[in-house]
A = this chain, B = another copy of it.
Amino acid sequence: MMEQRLSMVTLAVDDLPATRHFLEAGLGWEPGELPGEDIVFYQAGGSILALYKRDALARELGRPVPAQALGSVTLAWNARSEEEVQFTFQRAVDAGAVVVKRPEKAFWGGYSSYVEIPGGHLLEIAYNPFWPIDKEGNISLSAPETA
């Protein structure tokens, strides 16, 4: 059977140093060992986030890679509290992300914000009180048991 998981999410970017700067200097993420000039990997919990220069990815795929259609794929980073959403949202904006939606109560019962990160990809920064996050950072659809 196919194990139900995601191994990696790759964002195509035109200006790799600009997106790296946002993630590393801005958000404090640390890259893995750098395999070359065209790609960078970040350990992201039990998955991997990759940035790949658009032209290099196009060569690998054998077809052009158009610019991201904002919102067609959204990455979400879930915080452990509303306060952490506010803090992380502000940190992202200070680091150069463009505001799409400021932190607010969401209709689904959580607290959510959206930014466009340098490189043109959409990032949701949210808190969902119904989805527990364990100490390793794994998030789960299962609601905690009621006592």
Contact = CB atoms under 8 A, between A and B. Distances in A.
Contact of A139 (B46, B100, B136, B142): B46
A49 B6 contact: yes
Contact of A61 (B48, B57, B77, B101): B101
Interface in A98-147: 100-101, 106-108, 114, 121, 124, 126, 131, 133, 136-142
Contact of A4 (B30, B60, B62): B30
Interface in A75-113: 75-78, 88, 91, 100-101, 106-108
Interface in A24-46: 27-30, 32-33, 35, 41-46
Instruction: Kindly name the residue among A68, A131, A141 whose own CB sees the greatest number of chain B CB atoms within 10 A.
Output: A141
Interface string A62-81: 11011111111111111000
Given A46-B136, A66-B70, A61 B28 contact: no
A47 B47 contact: yes
Contact of A45 (B5, B62, B66, B76): B5
